[in-house]
Copies of this chain bind each other. A is one copy, B any other.
Amino acid sequence: MTSKFPTKLLGTAAIASLLLALPALGQDAPAEVVEPAVEATATPEWALIFNTLLFLIGGFLVMWMAAGFAMLEAGLVRTKNVSMQCLKNIALYSVAGIMFWVTGYSLMYTGVDGGFIGSFGPYGFPAPGADTGEAGYSVASDWFFQMVFCATTASIVSGTLAERIKIWPFMLFTVILTGFIYPIAGSWQWGGGWLSEMGFSDFAGSTLVHSVGGWAALAGVLLLGARKGKYNADGTVNAITGSSIPLATLGMFILWLGWFGFNGASQLAMGTIADAGDVSRIFANTNMAAAAGAVAAMIVTQLMYKKIDVTMVINGALAGLVSITAEPLMPSMPIALLIGAVGGVIVVFVVPLLDRLKIDDVVGAIPVHLVCGIWGTLIVPLSNPDTNYGTQIVGILAYGVFTFVVSGIVWFIIKMVIGMRASEEEEEMGLDMAEVGVEAYPEFK
């Protein structure tokens, strides 16, 4: 019943905005084209190109993480919801790209100046051939790199809410998250806002990306409720197994690969051998933390359960990656190993804990991205002497409170106005039949 209203509304709104926006936005930003930079900087041209290349390579690696989340989630939901999970991941990546142009980049990076928010409006590039590199890199390469981070945040939400949220409410939240919540929160630190002035440190986004996604997911799942049949009245939990372990494994490997771009290119420069050395060091530390997370999860699950649940190992590796993301440069390798290993252990303990709290996080995104995002951010001062635990905690709390409260309000409004959740019958038959109309594996019954 309610489904027609938001659909039409959304469709009309989307098309209308597109048409309205086109004439106004048909030109590139002229200002940045005119001034020819006059060699204001002594940076050699090749250094500008290396910096740009770092953003482009890092950017396509992080873009590839969208496929990683899609495969991870497709593998961890039941067959009847796999097409939906694929659809959501394509759609959220697409919407993130559009919204980060419409409002995101400007809100996050333009005119923040120690404050709480940037400016409002779509973003324009230098005209073709006109980028002089005065920013130290190509402007468009920076946009691309920052955009894929925004998309990652949205990906995190998708997994937690799987198997019972309807598509359009999810997409509506994604529009708000990628166009407003993430960019505004991000402006506080990476946009040069108040937290960055205070000395908070989050190198590649344990907090800015991963825990923001996690908080948004947590707010959503509290309003959405658990899947039918997950928790019994007597307090016991029914394990709902994923449909394809190899797809989940593939997703994890894609994410691991993409993370070299995520962390490595967050060095933001490789126009000197010192920067290139730091990027390399980040690659090594990132890999080490992921490896430690996986091995730690293996050992702990073997000791606790006498078997090695491969989904725990998958999440252990991801936990290691999230944990090292707040500071992948400074740690020595043993410290990177430690940070990742603790992440892997956290996952093994937090996954059942959430179930005890009846928080039904389908893919384990909250333990991995939220809890390990906090852990990684908290432990930065262990290896980075320019930071302190107090400020790290302030930052963690600021992001937590803001994202959780605003996301909660947005989810609440969505729930009240158009509804979030599929009906019991739809959930039973699966969202693939209910909303996609295409079964993921029609011949496998």
Q: Which residues of A contact B (CB under 8 A)?
A: 3-4, 7-8, 10-11, 14-15, 18, 21-22, 25-28, 44-50, 52-53, 55-57, 59-61, 63-64, 66-67, 70-71, 74-75, 78-79, 82-84, 86-87, 89-91, 93-95, 97-98, 101, 122-126, 128-133, 138-141, 143-144, 147, 167-168, 241-250, 252-254, 256-257, 260, 264, 270-274, 276-281, 283-284, 287-288, 290-292, 294-295, 298-300, 302-303, 305-311, 313-314, 317, 329-330, 332-335, 337-338, 341, 435-444
Contact = CB atoms under 8 A, between A and B. Distances in A.
Contact of A144 (B22, B140, B280): B280
Contacts of A300: 11
Contacts of A334: 21-22, 25-26, 122
Contacts of A86: 245-246, 248-249, 310
Contacts of A273: 45, 48-49, 52, 131-133, 138
Secondary structure of the A side of the interface?
helix
Closest 10 pairs (CB-CB, A-B):
A131-B277, A67-B253, A307-B437, A141-B280, A94-B291, A140-B280, A133-B273, A86-B249, A138-B277, A138-B280
A18 B47 CA distance: 40
A123 B273 CA distance: 20
B291 A332 contact: no
Given A27-B332, A329-B128, A313 B87 contact: yes
Contacts of A281: 125-126, 128, 131, 138, 140
Nearest to A4: B306
Nearest to A440: B245
B332 A93 contact: no
B138 A290 contact: no
A113 to B, nearest CB: 25
B309 A437 contact: yes
A288 to B, nearest CB: 6
B337 A250 contact: no
Contacts of A3: 306
Nearest to A437: B307
B288 A49 contact: no
B280 A52 contact: yes
Contacts of A254: 67
Contacts of A337: 18, 98
Given A280-B140, A284-B125, A291 B93 contact: yes
A308 B436 contact: yes
28 contacts: A4-B306, A11-B299, A48-B276, A49-B50, A52-B279, A56-B260, A60-B257, A78-B443, A82-B246, A86-B246, A86-B248, A87-B308, A87-B313, A98-B292, A101-B288, A131-B273, A131-B281, A138-B273, A138-B277, A141-B280, A144-B283, A147-B284, A168-B302, A243-B442, A244-B440, A245-B440, A307-B437, A444-B444
B441 A243 contact: yes
Contacts of A132: 273-274
